[in-house]
Structure 1
Amino acid sequence: MKYVLGIDKGTSMIKSVIFDEAGSTVAVARRRVDVLHPQAGWHEEDPKRTWALCIETTREALATARLIGSDIAAIGITGHMGGAILVDAANLPVRNAIGWPDERAQSHLLKLEAEGALDGLFQISGNGLMPGNTALLLGWLAVHDPDSTARAATFLCAKDYLRLRLTGVAAIDPSDVSFVPGDIDGRTFSAELMRACGAEAWLERLPAIVASEKIAGHLQPEAAELTGLMEGTPVITGLGDGAAAALGIGALASGSAFTVLGTSCLNSLVLDGPHRAPHGLGFLFAMPLDQYVRILPNTSGTMTMDWFLERFGGPQHADGSWDFNAMEMAAAAIPPGAGGVLLLPYINGAGVLAPFADPLARGAFFGMSVHTTRDHLLRAVYEALCYSTRDCFAAMPEAPTSLKLSGGGAQSPFWGQLFADVCGVPIEIPESAESGALGVALLAGVAVGMWPDLEAAVQRTSRVSARYEPDPVQTKIYDGWFGLYQALRSTYRNFSSQRAALMEQA
């Protein structure tokens, strides 16, 4: 039997996952990404450390599966989108990698907004800009780090740097080009948009665009020795995580709706064309098969839960890890509405991209009293991510009749049922918890003939492990709370600029 390897370089975690011909997970290895904050609002990584973690997880996955390198037929890579990794002519990084949550280019974005340029740029790209977009970061670096800009031969996204280390090939795929952002109709870079973001110096140094499903290169001897994989193993170009998840979940048909409950909560709808509604909001990414995925994200996602636990604590296992089963029992003991507490889950410093655009928006707890406990706040966190998902899909041009839920949080029966009750639609949980890694593994398998085409690969591997039906009584209760949630986020938006001005003065 042959196997495929999917590598998923996420914002907070890097994973190497081995799948068999049925799409079943044979082994998975994870490491937490080392995030650096050299200045307030900066989000960086040491690319050498990230590559070392990729080596560790790949070797561990092979060992866990009791496989050798020659058992892996092909490799697919996905990664978080946006950000920028600058490499020189020798393919070496010239500075730390910058991640999409980075805030340093926010002043550039606000300047474009003040100039009234955002509508025109959205029309080109189908993407609402955020500070962590690659083009904005390149523009910032051109002004504030001209030395790195001068030494760089090109820029890459997260997955592309790992593929460079594996194969020596520097390239980018249409999905990551979408979030630079680029020309969504042409599925290529946009010179106009690069110039608007101050990144015109990069127009002569753009990475080659190679189709996501194509074999971009083969494993080089040094990488093979380090990872335990076989020299010459084919490596496809790959996909950004927002698009890869659609394939892994089995959402190929136009109109398929899914949410990836990850660091950023990606509320997604598969489309047969580059349809931009609602205007000015969210993301639009190119996918294989000439399809697109429209995403209205909650940029805070499970980052909100991580923040809450870091600040307020929670039940832990003996080894210090969080006891999520105990947390869910505590949250389940609180009635719907969290004792009157609502959370606006807008804690990401990059602001909000959907269902409204405001880079200055921030989160808030509302409705606390002397009777409020940590468990009330905890339940409010669980409910808030459900409200934000419903809020984003309500802004979509097409309302979903069911919703696939993927990501780490999707493995929670408590949360799955809560999503069904709050959103009022059936929730399906894909069997594979690693949808992004599976998505690129399927493309890699098709590239080497493990499956005849992508449709056949998805049909062979897409299975549902759980389904949650909405409880009509609970949904009616949550309709009222959701209405209050929408009223609150609209009210709090009015204070974003005032708050930011006061912070600037301070």
Structure 2
Amino acid sequence: RHEPARMRRADLVGHLNTFLHRRLTGARVVDPGSASFMGLYRTLDLEGWSDELIEAVGASRSWLPEVREGSEVGGRLTSEAASLLGLPQGTPMLVGVMDTSAAMLRAGAEPGRLTNACGSTDVLALCTDRPRPHPRLLTRAMGVGRLWLSVSTIAAAGSSIAWVRRALFADLGERQFARLILCAASRRGASGVRFEPYLAGDRASIEQRKASFEGLTLAATREDMLAAVVEALCRQSAGRLELLAGNPVKLRREVVVTGGVQKGLSLGPIRPSLLHGDWPGRWRFRSEEEASVRGLWDLAFSAGRS
């Protein structure tokens, strides 16, 4: 309704895998997880597109792709796509799933499993077989089987630290800045400076929140501001656990960690333990490099065997 002229020209509305399939195989498909993001899918029962929601937004069912399991073959490469990719014509192409779903598959998708993708954005996901929507969580289909993900995101995690370095510590090298981060973690709250960590907004809020510092005085230093950012990210990271614990499944105490921070990127040469410092109780963190890519490989291997 906001872009009527554009939508009158639309032939197909979907997500990235929809676009890729349309271009490479000619198919019109999407997986349940990606469909969940479109706001027109019956996410809680996986029963396809909702006519009520389609009508409410003024959409047309003819625009929407077929919803199929991410592990299914969605189409086969056309001659043009095969030539472009250097693959045989007719090569099967899976429908596929989104990155968080792929990482969860790699972690071992089972109810109660947690994955934490730590990078520019921090995504904490819980796998469940009993979805329970919450206004502060994104509830979406896994994309494979009757599983769902409850997801909480810090939109600017590593990117907040990168912003601090760029804006306040451009004169320092990476190693010097990394040492300052560790020092900041040990002196959190000492200066009274606080930070609201919404440099990239809030994905669970319609009215977008903005970042800000509180408690600044003439005595405040850039180190105080860095400490406030680190404290805010740690506090926000831990606060998500209470939200996820509201799901009927029991949270497993092992967390599979992946992403740029896991590899020492985005926040400099530090470990994810910095952001997990405020998590209550005992947790075991298992690193998995490139979990999303490896999860897609697992999906393809499993589909090939079946």
**TM-score for both structures, normalised by structure 1:** 0.52
Kept in 1: contact 2:118–2:272 (CA 8 A): no
Aligned twin of 2:43:
184
Query: Match of 1:260, SS?
Result: strand
Query: Match of 1:140, SS?
Result: coil
Once structures 1 and 2 are overlaid, which stretch shifts more, 148-157 or 262-271? 262-271
Q: Which residue, 392, 395, 411 being the options, matches 2:263?
A: 411
Q: Which amino acid aligns with 1:299?
A: A
Aligned twin of 1:194:
54
Number of residues paired by the alignment?
A: 292
CA drift of 1:399 comes to: 5.5
| Structure 1 unaligned blocks of 5 or more | 1-138, 318-322, 453-506
Q: Does 1:141 align with 2:3?
A: yes
Aligned twin of 2:127:
270
The 3 A distance-change label for structure 1 pair 267 and 291 is: same
CA distance in 1, matches of 2:161, 2:79: 42
Q: Which amino acid aligns with 1:389?
A: S
Aligned twin of 1:333:
183
CA distance in 2, matches of 1:228, 1:336: 55
The 3 A distance-change label for structure 1 pair 301 and 416 is: closer
Q: Which residue, 252, 257, 261 being the options, matches 2:114?
A: 257
Q: Does 1:247 align with 2:105?
A: yes
CA distance in 2, matches of 1:348, 1:243: 23
CA drift of 1:427 comes to: 4.5
Aligned twin of 2:212:
364
CA distance in 2, matches of 1:362, 1:262: 20
Q: Which amino acid aligns with 1:381?
A: V
Q: How does 1:78-477 map to 2 (within 5 A)?
A: 139-142=1-4, 146=5, 148-181=6-39, 182-187=41-46, 188-196=48-56, 198=57, 200-248=58-106, 250-276=107-133, 279-287=134-142, 288-312=144-168, 314=170, 323=174, 325-334=175-184, 335-337=186-188, 339-340=190-191, 341-349=193-201, 351-353=202-204, 357=205, 359-396=207-244, 397=246, 401-412=253-264, 414-424=270-280, 425-432=282-289, 434-449=290-305
Task: Give the structure with the higher percent helix.
Answer: 1
The 3 A distance-change label for structure 1 pair 160 and 441 is: farther
CA drift of 1:155 comes to: 0.9
CA distance in 1, matches of 2:206, 2:226: 26
CA distance in 2, matches of 1:385, 1:410: 16
CA drift of 1:269 comes to: 1.0
| Greater length-normalized contact order (CA 8 Å, ≥ 6 residues apart) | 2
Residue-by-residue CA offset, 1:153-182 (whole Å, 9 max, x unaligned): 111212322333332222111001111122
CA distance in 2, matches of 1:270, 1:285: 10
CA distance in 1, matches of 2:26, 2:111: 36
Query: Match of 1:411, SS?
Result: coil
Kept in 2: contact 1:243–1:285 (CA 8 A): no
Residue-by-residue CA offset, 1:16-56 (whole Å, 9 max, x unaligned): xxxxxxxxxxxxxxxxxxxxxxxxxxxxxxxxxxxxxxxxx
Kept in 2: contact 1:259–1:268 (CA 8 A): yes
Kept in 1: contact 2:155–2:203 (CA 8 A): yes
Query: Match of 1:437, SS?
Result: helix
The 3 A distance-change label for structure 1 pair 164 and 384 is: farther
CA distance in 1, matches of 2:181, 2:234: 14
CA distance in 1, matches of 2:275, 2:116: 10
Q: Which amino acid aligns with 2:45?
A: G
CA distance in 2, matches of 1:162, 1:360: 31
Q: Which amino acid aligns with 1:391?
A: G
Query: Match of 2:225, SS?
Result: helix
CA distance in 2, matches of 1:222, 1:150: 28
CA distance in 2, matches of 1:304, 1:205: 38
Kept in 1: contact 2:255–2:283 (CA 8 A): yes
CA distance in 1, matches of 2:157, 2:52: 32
**What percentage of aligned pairs have identical amino acids?**
23
Kept in 1: contact 2:257–2:286 (CA 8 A): yes
Residue-by-residue CA offset, 1:276-299 (whole Å, 9 max, x unaligned): 2xx323211212231111112223
Aligned twin of 1:54:
none
CA drift of 1:214 comes to: 0.5
The 3 A distance-change label for structure 1 pair 193 and 256 is: same
The 3 A distance-change label for structure 1 pair 404 and 419 is: farther
* Runs of 4+ off more than 6 Å: none
CA distance in 1, matches of 2:88, 2:225: 50
| Structure 2 unaligned blocks of 5 or more | none
Residue-by-residue CA offset, 1:267-323 (whole Å, 9 max, x unaligned): 2111112232xx323211212231111112223343433444454453677xxxxx3
Kept in 2: contact 1:342–1:365 (CA 8 A): yes
The 3 A distance-change label for structure 1 pair 343 and 229 is: farther
CA distance in 2, matches of 1:375, 1:231: 58
Q: Which amino acid aligns with 2:188?
A: G
CA drift of 1:246 comes to: 1.0
Q: Could you say what the CA RMSD is over the residues aligned between the two structures, in angstroms?
A: 2.7
Kept in 2: contact 1:251–1:258 (CA 8 A): no
